[in-house]
Amino acid sequence: MRVRKREVKIGGMAIGGSNPIAVQTMLNVPIDDIPGNVAQARRCAAAGCQILRVTCPTPADARCIEAVKKAVDIPIVADIHFDYRAALACAAVGVDKIRINPGNIGSDDRVKEVVTACRAGHIPIRIGVNGGSLEKHILAKYGAPVPEAMVESALYHVRLLEKFDFEDIVISIKSSNVPRMMEAYRQLSAVTDYPLHVGVTEAGTYQMGLLKSGMGIGGLLLEGIGDTIRVSLAADPEKEVEAGFNILRAVGYAVAGPEVITCPTCGRTQYPCIEIANEVERRLQGYKKPIKVAVMGCVVNGPGEAREADIGIAGGKNEAVLFVHGQPVRKLTGDNILDQFMEEIYKL
Ligand code: SF4
């Protein structure tokens, strides 16, 4: 059961409330390469990314934010660390959301200026707490970036915004330590109704990052916690988008597009099941219909084990049985079984 948070609008979309969980990523092209950022943003949008974050270290870099915003029609988030003038510059070019920790930008006057600009532009602010960079006074109090310390940090930044009656807020509270990050989100979710952006930070290389994100993000989603997710991987951001949707699928959320299921294969397998499954998945990239496609290793158990699939094949020797909802339909033979199968999928 989803933990219901208040709704926050980000450009033309909304998160929280009963809105679907949005998948986001962040560009990783150097910020001074505007064409490179624009091209990568287009690739992310084509991969289905729903919210796109771009760093903005200086006010001049708002030019890149502006260019990316013009190039794609998904909400753009500016990532600001210390320079409040960069936040103002992004608000001026119509960014859809700003990630900034108000405690990092100095005086109340600066916070007030950012809040005023965001309020005028209907721009929400995400507070992004990271276990690795907690405020010194909070770290001194707890001695380590424990969940309680991360929650206290998040609420400290929240109060700095609420002081100016600003409540258009999203919060993240990330750590690279999965149990710690999960507990921090649980504690935070219990004391706030602001929507939560969930992620494991510095999750590691591709494989480890996938695992940690699957456990941390997926685990929290299963507990109903999370309104938007970002999988952090040392990889292209399109891969993060793909992983985000796969996590949503894995925990049972309806996601547009096909899902390919396959068995691990075993000694009964007599055809290139794994290669075919990968190729089917590759060819179905960008296909919009929400269908389940199975590629199973053998006829004996395959159709039954993949009963929940809309369509599938189970391979034998130089042939495959085509099945629909677990029932065999006919045999595919010859050396183009894969092409025949794809034709059947597109007919559905
Ligand atoms: S479906 Fe057949 S090939 Fe695949 S794991 Fe099960 S028994 Fe083995």
Q: Which CATH number is 199's domain given? A: 3.20.20.20
Answer yes or no: do 133 and 273 share one domain. Answer: no
Mean pLDDT of 201-210: 88
Query: What is the number of domains present in the chain?
Result: 2
Q: Which residues are within 8 A (CB) of 238 and not within 5 positions of it... i.e. 6 or more apart?
A: 25, 43, 44, 47, 49
Interval between CA 319 and ligand 1 midpoint (Å): 16
Instruction: Please indicate whether residue 213, judged by its CB atom, sits closer than 6 Å to ligand 1.
Output: no
User: Which of 250, 268, 302 is the C-terminal boundary of a domain?
Assistant: 250
Between residues 20 and 285, which one has the greater pLDDT? 20
Least Cα distance to 129 among 56, 180, 205 occurs for 180
- Model pLDDT, residue 283: 95
**What is the per-residue DSSP string for 91-147?**
HHTT-SEEE--GGGS-SHHHHHHHHHHHHHHT--EEEEEEGGG--HHHHHHHSS--H
Interval between CA 260 and ligand 1 midpoint (Å): 16
User: Which of 186, 218, 250 is the C-terminal boundary of a domain?
Assistant: 250
Q: Which two tokens stand for residue 128?
A: 């992004």
Mean pLDDT of 11-35: 97
Nearest CA to ligand 1 atom 6: 301
Q: Which two tokens stand for residue 186?
A: 């649980």
From 262, 276, 295, 298, the mutation candidate for ligand 1 (largest count of ligand atoms within 8 A of CB) is: 298
Angle formed by the axes of helices 206-222 and 178-191, to 10°?
Answer: 30
Q: What atom in ligand 1 is closest to the CA of residue 305?
A: 1
Mean pLDDT of 115-134: 96
Between residues 328 and 204, which one has the greater pLDDT? 328
Answer yes or no: do 312 and 187 share one domain. Answer: no
Q: Is residue 3 part of a domain?
A: no
Nearest CA to ligand 1 atom 5: 265
- 294-320 pLDDT, tens per residue? 999 999 888 888 888 999 999 988 899
Note the pTM of the prediction, 2 decimals. 0.90
CA atoms within a 13 Å half-sphere pointing along the CA-CB vector of 154: 33
**Residue 342 is part of a domain; what is its CATH number?**
3.30.413.10
* pLDDT category of residue 331 using cuts at 50, 70 and 90: very high
Q: Which two tokens stand for residue 157?
A: 């930044």
pLDDT at 203 over 80: no
> What does the alpha-carbon distance between residue 210 and residue 77 come to, in Å, rounded to a whole number?
23
- Model pLDDT, residue 294: 96
- Model pLDDT, residue 1: 85
Answer yes or no: do 115 and 264 share one domain. Answer: no
8 — phi, psi (to 5°)?
Answer: -125, 130
> What does the alpha-carbon distance between residue 310 and residue 344 come to, in Å, rounded to a whole number?
11
User: Which of 216, 250, 284 is the C-terminal boundary of a domain?
Assistant: 250
Domain of residue 209, residue span: 8-250
Q: Which two tokens stand for residue 144?
A: 């380590």
Q: Per mean pLDDT, which of 151-155, 205-209, 283-287 is the most reliable?
A: 151-155
